[in-house]
Amino acid sequence: MADTSDFKNGLVLKIDGQLQQIIEFQHVKPGKGPAFVRTKLKNVVSGKVVDKTFNAGVKVETATVDRRDMTYLYHDGTDYIFMDGDTYDQISIPEATIGDGARFLLENMGVQVAVHEDAPLFVELPVTIELVVQHTDIGLQGDRSTGGTKPATLETGAEVAVPLFINTGDKLKIDSRDGSYLGRVNG
């Protein structure tokens, strides 16, 4: 149990049987009336964000969520296999739990897995990842019909929009949260 004075970003609360992570909070003390805490909560499983207000001093049930550093090993059907670097235990996580980030997973990539009562909740990839372009068409100079971008298929099979000057074999920096192109890696 925690009360509203213990709130901090990243704390996971158990509300109505759902795990909600605090992503933003603000203590408010109006001139009239009791103090309260305004929060933005993200459902750990669905990712849905909601606003919730708590009266100051209210006790809320917290959930213990362990963040473990793990290494992605391989893809097996609809599951992805990860290994805990400390215990060498392997766990299987379904694609639905990983979400859109699954398309950027590369073998031996280090990730963080959030676990609650031995059940994986979500997988956090590094924000910036470096991947090689497997295939892209040659961009024609002066072709602005696509806004100066073209599709490129990365080594993981993910397709992202890249500038026209990118070629097959280039190593790119990609934002794993939305798949946006961040730049080319030299060397």
* Span 18-39, pLDDT tens digits: 888 888 899 889 888 899 999 9
| Fold for the domain defined by 128-185 | OB fold (Dihydrolipoamide Acetyltransferase, E2P) (2.40.50)
Domain-wise residue ranges, the chain? 2-60, 66-124, 128-185
Equal fold, 2-60 vs 128-185: no
67: β partners: 114
**Top-level class of domain 2-60:** mainly beta
Q: Taking the model in full, what pTM does it have?
A: 0.69
CB 113 within 8 A of CB 94: no
Q: What are the pLDDT digits (tens) for 111-166?
A: 988 888 878 888 888 889 999 999 988 866 665 655 678 889 999 999 999 988 88
Rg of the Cα trace of the chain?
21
Class of domain 66-124: mainly beta
